[in-house]
Structure 1
Amino acid sequence: MTTPEPYGGGREPFRLLPIKQVQVYREIFTQLDRLVSGSNPGTRLLPERELAEQLQVSRVSIREALRALESMGKVEIRRNSGTYVVDPDGTLPVEYLLAGAEPGVATLRSLTEARAAIETRLVQTVCRQVAPDLRPAREFLTRAARELSGEDTDQGSLDLRFEAILGRAAGSPVLVRVQKWIHQAWITAWGDYGVAPGDRRSLHAEHVAILDALERGDVALAVSQMDAHVDRHINERTHPDEGG
């Protein structure tokens, strides 16, 4: 009788980092999510500066919450224009996906399996396109590179906008819808846990490697890079760090 392989199976672990001021982040995210849910599609939100003044928090905190909402497909951040509501009622599937699930490692492991299946499949679907439009993904990474700072190496990131852009390039509405639901559950579950898997700078480097392979038409490498990006194991954490 063989001994079951321990969870992880040789996979690289996620580098778990605190979400800075996690209680503040949760409150800001909850309030902005509630604001979006009560708005009509196409509504333009107040500028970051005004939102920060109203909630009495930093613009950085507002920006992080808006990025999470965009990763969930609820808003769209348009450069030099503002943030617009896209899908105000996108939370219902999350209630089903996380129904009865307790915040913690077991839930995060289940979501990792689901997300890995969706993200790698979307990469394969992009590769099957005759001429996939990868320009939005490259433009996004170019902007993201300019926005990186020294602070992005010591705090976790729940920004899934790159993956969402790749999803749209796949041209599969059903897969994109499922991806959006998984992203919503992913951001909610990690936010509840108080940490995030990876820092913005490292995740950006992995995104660049994935896109480079896609642009070269190297299907095997693109799939392998995405698989390594998302299909990792999660070590037990007795006391999740609440951040500083």
Structure 2
Amino acid sequence: MSVGQKMYLNIVKEIDSIIRLDQLSPGDKLPSERELAERLNVGRSSVREALRALELLDLIETRKGEGTYIKESGGHRIAEVLASFFFRDTKAKQDVMETRRIIEVEAVRLACMRASKEQLDKLEIILEESKKKWTSGELPVEEDFLFHKTLVESSHNKLLLNIWRPLVDYSKVAIRESLSREGRIGNSIQEHEAILRALTSKNDEDAVCYLRTHLENSRF
């Protein structure tokens, strides 16, 4: 990757970070080109180029006289677009998956002691939604993400969650690819059910064992 490409990708990543920091949602207006340039400490021409690329990818739209807005699909797809660049680096992909595994294993261990009834109920609901999507022929990508997010939230350790979230935001492409394998959705749901049973019974050894098996089978 050339220096110019790295600069461009860094700016796109920083714009994504600003969207998250400012808690912007699809339909919201992005900061102005000038403000983005100032916040990122780069030239306006570089920002303009990055915004043009995001617009061509149908992630944002420019409204004449109004500004630039996140498209309805764009807020959820920027991370996936970044992942297509990021995961070209095999070592980077390996590091992300390894770090995710370490965080989730420790989080599930804590969750066995700290998970609330509401969080256990939420996991049950997510599993039911996964089954509904599977039955209707859809990939439960968002439900898979929410199951693992709720697991980490159940540790009641905000730092773990804050480290975990960006790792998995960039891994949604990998989740989709994993669930697309023949027979994987049904097996994944069964593995999630085993993890939830262990959580409910507060059996941390089983919970960690089932989670490790699940992540290995998912090829995360």
Judging by fraction of residues, say which structure has more helix. 2
Q: Tell me the percent identity.
A: 15
Partner of 1:170: 155
TM-score under structure 2 length normalisation: 0.54
Partner of 2:192: 207
Partner of 2:178: 197
Tell me, in whole angstroms, the C-alpha distance in 2 between the residues paired with 1:233 and 1:43.
30
Match for 1:216: what amino acid? S
Structure 1 pair 232–107 and aligned structure 2 pair: CA distance change class (3 A)? farther
Choose 1 or 2 for highest CA Rg: 2
The CA deviation at 1:112 is 1.8
Which residues of 2 match residues 199-238 of structure 1 at below 5 A? 199=180, 200-231=185-216
Tell me, in whole angstroms, the C-alpha distance in 2 between the residues paired with 1:141 and 1:178.
24
RMSD: 4.3
Gaps of 5+ in 1: 1-29, 46-54, 56-64, 73-89, 235-244
Gaps of 5+ in 2: 1-11, 28-57, 59-72
Aligned counterpart for 2:95 among listed residues 104, 110, 113: 110
Tell me, in whole angstroms, the C-alpha distance in 2 between the residues paired with 1:108 and 1:42.
27
- The total of aligned residue pairs comes to 155
Cα deviation per residue 1:145-201 (whole Å; 9 max; x = unaligned)? 22223635xx7957411000122222111111111011122226x38xxx7223433
The answer on whether the counterparts of 1:116 and 1:231 sit within 8 Å (CA) in structure 2 is no
Match for 2:177: what amino acid? A
Tell me, in whole angstroms, the C-alpha distance in 2 between the residues paired with 1:141 and 1:212.
12
Which residues of 2 match residues 58-73 of structure 1 at below 5 A? 69=76
Runs of 4+ in structure 1 deviating by more than 6 angstroms, as ranges, are none
Q: Which has the higher contact order (CA 8 A, sep 6+)?
A: 1
Tell me, in whole angstroms, the C-alpha distance in 1 between the residues paired with 2:116 and 2:136.
37
